[in-house]
Amino acid sequence: MLTREYLKTRFKEHQLTVSEQSFTYSSGLFSSAQGVNIIATNTVKDLPVIVITAHYDHLGLKAGKLHPGANDNASGVAALLYLSNALTDSSSYRFMFVATDAEENGLHGSEHFAKTIRQLPIVLNINLDMLAIKKSHKRLYALTSRSLKAQLNPLFTQINGDKIKLKPVYSSRKMSRLTNTKQIDWRRASDHYSFAKQKIPYVYFSMGADNYHHSAKDTLENINAPLYQEAVLLIEEFINQLLTNSAVLTPSLKAAT
């Protein structure tokens, strides 16, 4: 509850219209649970929509230990809040900023959202999850589908960081090789998969694997702040490239996921 109120307050400070989207999902064989997505938008103009998502739920207390979730996924939520203030609608697109719930136990929040907004002209989902860059492996990965390579790769090549490298990846298998995580299907690893199932193109920004993932050591002390800040600025630069090159995103891309 406190997290939701904080998010709504911050979005409203950015002059956004904020709403809650409640949903129910199965949490066991004979039980259900309630979740709440927080949705913020800065215009009601009838334009194609770019949806930017980050999940705000985490494990919390587990086996008597607090799992803070600084990287997974306070890093994504902080970036979402920054972008909600930094980005303004262009003449070609409008933005929706969505803090999703119940990602950790099945992508339930994003799945509910993606199913209920199919009537909107959504041209892209940008998903932010685990953005704290490793000091030993200074890469920010941008995972999307191979079918979008021709459209998006020219934009990615225009983006250069001083301390970290933006690495576009066009298949889950390649992402697994680059991050040495053969057990992970990165296409299904976070909320972008809910949009992919609805035939909505996505770009998933992430550091990849984290040694402190789902542990009590996922704390602020284990995040390199300068590298994280540069990663967020690279994401902002990518979005600004999209706005400058508005012909890249068209409704026809919905079939290319």
Q: How many structural domains comprise the chain?
A: 1
Q: Are 89 and 50 in contact (CB under 8 A)?
A: no
Q: Are 60 and 214 in contact (CB under 8 A)?
A: no
Q: Are 192 and 125 in contact (CB under 8 A)?
A: yes
What pLDDT is recorded for position 43?
73
What pLDDT is recorded for position 27?
84
User: What is 236-252 written as a DSSP string?
Assistant: HHHHHHHHHTGGG--GG
What is the distance between the alpha carbons of residues 143 and 205, in angstroms, rounded to a whole number? Answer: 7
What is the distance between the alpha carbons of residues 14 and 85, in angstroms, rounded to a whole number? Answer: 5
Residue 69 CB contacts under 8 Å (≥ 6 apart), including other chains: 58, 59, 218
Residue 36 amino acid letter: V
What is the distance between the alpha carbons of residues 232 and 74, in angstroms, rounded to a whole number? Answer: 13
CA distances from 136 to 12, 81, 214 (A): 38, 27, 20
What is the distance between the alpha carbons of residues 37 and 20, in angstroms, rounded to a whole number? Answer: 6
What pLDDT is recorded for position 250?
66
What pLDDT is recorded for position 255?
47
Closest CA to 5 of 18, 14, 22, 16: 18
What pLDDT is recorded for position 32?
93
What is the distance between the alpha carbons of residues 129 and 105, in angstroms, rounded to a whole number? Answer: 15
pLDDT mean for each 10 residues of the chain (257 residues): 95 96 90 96 85 95 89 98 91 94 97 94 96 93 94 94 96 96 96 97 96 94 96 97 86 51
What is the distance between the alpha carbons of residues 194 and 27, in angstroms, rounded to a whole number? Answer: 18
What pLDDT is recorded for position 156?
97
Which tokens sit at 200? Answer: 């909505």
**Which DSSP letter does residue 71 get?**
I
Name the residue range of residue 113's domain: 2-255
What is the distance between the alpha carbons of residues 207 and 65, in angstroms, rounded to a whole number? Answer: 25
What is the distance between the alpha carbons of residues 24 and 7, in angstroms, rounded to a whole number? Answer: 21
User: What's the whole-model pTM score?
Assistant: 0.95
Q: In 27-80, which ranges are E strands?
A: 32-41, 49-55, 60-62, 65-67
Q: What is the dihedral of CA 167, 146, 131, 78, to 10 degrees?
A: 130
18: domain CATH number is 3.40.630.10
